[in-house]
Chains A and B, each alone.
Chain A
Amino acid sequence: MSDAPSNGTALGPGSHPEIAPSVRLKMYSSMWRARVFEKRVYDLFMSGLVKGTTHLGTGQEAVAAGFSTAMRDDDMVFCTYRGHNHTLLRGAPMDSLMGELLGRESGCCGGKGGSMHLTDVEQHAMGSYAIVGAHLPVAAGAAWASAERGTGQVTACFFGDGTTNIGAFHESLNIAAVWNLPVVYVCENNLYMEYTPISSVTAVPNPAADRAAAYGLEPIIVDGNDVDAVYRTALTALHRARSGGGPSLIEAQTYRHHGHSRADPGKYRPDEEVEAWMRKDPLILYRARLESLGFAASDLDQVEEAARAEIDAATAAAKEAPEPGEAVLMTDLWADGGASWRR
C-alpha cells in the first residue's frame, strides 16, 4: 500500500494508462501473500490449532489485491468475517493476524476478536463484521465523517452476494447515495450464501448490479478474478468518491475455492462449476499474463518464495507468543480501559 501509485487515485474515470510493472508485481505479491496465509489457516484449523471457525478468501484474492493497491494509505476498509484477505492486504502485519487466529496475546485484537473480527485500526482496516450486512451502514458513517471533516479519505466496504438481500444493504446504499458519501460498496459475488446458491433466493440475476438503479447508481460488474480489471475499476470508483462524485456499487464476480467455512467441503456445488472456476484461479491467470508481458519467471518465483517465507515466520512467531492471561479478560470494554458497570 505504501507504494500505491499516487497517480492512480488522481485518474479520471476511463483514463487508464498502462499499469506500471511495479504495481503489477505488488498485486501479484499481494495475491500470493493472501493465498499462503489462507492455506496456512486452513492447515492450522484442520490440525486443531486455529479454533472456532474460519471463512477463507481463497480464490477471491484479486478483489482485495486490486482494491488495496488502488487505495490511498489512509483510505478505510470494512469487511466481513471472510475478511482475512482484506485486513492483511490493507497492511496488518501477518504475525499479528496469525496471532489472533491462534488465540495469542500478540493478536491484532489481543485474542478478543478471533477469525471473524480481524481489525487493525492503525492500518485503517476498520474491522471485520460477522453479522451479515451490519458493516454497510457503519462504513457509510465512516465516510460521512470523512466528508464532514474534509479528510479526503474514501471508505471501501466489502460484502458477499447474500448480503444484498438484507435490509441494511438497502438502508446503506440509499443514504450513501442521498448524502453523496465517499464510499465504495463492493459485492464479492461468489455465487453462494453459505450453502444456498444466490440465484435461488434472489429476484434478479446480478444481486448487486441489478439493484444499483434503485439508488440512482450505475450498474458495475467486474471480473473479480482479474486483478488488473479490479484495480482499474477500483481506481475509477475511488477517484469518483474522492472528487465528490459519491458512492459506487461494484459487483465483482468471483468464487471461493473452499466451502463456506471451517472444514466445509462445499459438496453442494456441481463438479463442473468448481472445475471451471479453478481454471480461472486469479493467481494462475495473473502469472500467465505477467509472463506474456515479459516478467521474468524467476522474479515471479521469488515473489512466491517471499510469501512462503513470510507465512512461515508469522506462524512461528504466533506459536511462540503467549496466550492472553486473566488480566485482559476484564479490560477494554470502556474507554477507561476497564469493564466496571457500578460504583
Chain B
Amino acid sequence: MATLTYREAVARGIAQEMARDERVLLIGEDVAEAGGVFKTTQGLRERFGPRRVRDTPISEEAITGMVMGAAMNGLRPIGEIMFSDFLATCWDIVANQIAKTRYMTGGQIELPLVLRSANGGGARFGGQHSQSVENWAMAIPGLKVVAPSTPVDVVGLMAAAIRDPNPVVFLEHKALFATKGEVPDGELVDTLGRAATVRQGDHATIVALAAMVPKAIEAADLLGREGISADVIDLRTLVPLDVTAVATSVAKTGRLFTVEENPRLCGWGAEVASIVAEECFWDLDGPIVRITTPHIPLPAADAIEDMAIPSVNRVVETVRASMQ
C-alpha cells in the first residue's frame, strides 16, 4: 500500500500498462521531456524511452488523428489533450472519425485508444481552461467516457481504459490532482461501467462524478447529522452508464439528486434523471433535483468561480430544502 496523489496515480496507471504491453505508447504536448504540464506523466519518458513517450507539436488534430491511425494499425496508443477545452479544436477527429469509424465500416476497424485530458474548474483559469466537457463526450455514440475521483480509481480505470478495445475518453480532474489516497501495491485493473456506492444511506440518493464526489460525500456527512442519510454514488464512468446502481439506490431511498460540474443544459444528470423518471417513477417520493454549474462559461475570479461550481453548501441546502 502506498499513498499517491491523483496526478501520481495517472503516471502509475499508464506505467503499469506500458510495462505490460509494448503496443502502448503515449503522445501529446509536453508529455515526455517535461512530464506533462500537470506533471501527470512524470518519469514515463525516462522509464520507457523517447519512442514510446513522445512530444508532439501543438497540433490537436494530429494528436487525435494519429492515435486513431495507429490504433487501426496494431498499436494501443494514448493521446493527451492538455486541457479538455481544447478538444473543441479536434472534435471532428474525436466525434466524426474516432467515434463513428467502427460502426460505419461494419465493424472492420477496431480502435483501442485512450484520449486523456485535464478537465474541470476550480483552478481560476477562466473560461477556456476550466470547462467540464464530460457531457460533450457522452453525447457521441461510440465513445466510452471515464472520469475518476480517487487515486486508486485513476490507476484501475486507466488500466481498464487502455485494455478496452474501444475508444475511451479519460477525463482527469484538475481540482483533484493534488489529492491523496491509498493505492494497493501490485497490478490494479478496474471495470468500466461500474459505479461505486461511496456512502450508504436511506433517505436520498446523491449521484456525483469526479471532483463533485468528495463534495457530495462531505454534504452527505453534514446532512447525516441532521437526520437525512444519503447514498452517494460515484458514477466513475458515464459510458457505459451504471443504471443498475442508480436504480437500485433510488428503489431504496425514493429520492434522486445529481451533482454535476458540467453546465446545466444536457448535462449528464439530465440523462440520469430521464432514465430514473422513466424506469423508476413509482419508486420516487419526490422530484428529481439536479445541482449543476449554471449555464455559463466558468469565470476566473475565486469568488464567482466558487459560486458557479456546485459547493458542499449548495448540495446540503438543496437536498435539505427539497426533503422538507
Contact = CB atoms under 8 A, between A and B. Distances in A.
A151 B23 CA distance: 14
B239 interface: yes
Contact of A109 (B68, B108, B110, B241): B108
Interface in B66-101: 66-75, 77, 92-93, 96-97, 101
A229 interface: no
B73 A146 contact: yes
B62 A140 contact: yes
Given A148-B75, A339-B141, A119 B105 contact: yes
B141 A143 contact: no
Interface residues of A, number: 54
Interface stretch (A17-25, A249-257, A270-278, A326-334): A326-334
A144 interface: yes
A178 B110 CA distance: 27
B119 interface: no
Q: Give the bracket for the number of chain B residues in contact with chain A.
A: 35 or more
Contacts of B164: 335
Nearest to B99: A333
Interface in B25-72: 25, 51, 56-57, 59-62, 64-72
A149 B52 CA distance: 12
B244 interface: yes
Nearest to A116: B104
A281 B85 CA distance: 49
B96 A131 contact: yes
A149 B104 contact: no
A148 B25 contact: yes
Contact of A168 (B65, B68, B110): B65
Nearest to B68: A138
A342 B240 contact: yes
Interface of A: 76, 107-113, 117, 119-122, 126-127, 129, 131, 133-146, 148-149, 151, 153, 155, 167-168, 171-172, 174-175, 178, 331-335, 337, 339-343
Given A175-B56, A339-B103, 17 more contacts: A110-B106, A119-B104, A119-B105, A126-B109, A131-B96, A134-B65, A136-B65, A137-B61, A137-B64, A141-B69, A145-B73, A145-B75, A146-B73, A168-B92, A335-B102, A335-B112, A340-B240
Interface of B: 25, 51, 56-57, 59-62, 64-75, 77, 92-93, 96-97, 101-110, 112, 141-142, 164-166, 193-194, 239-244, 275
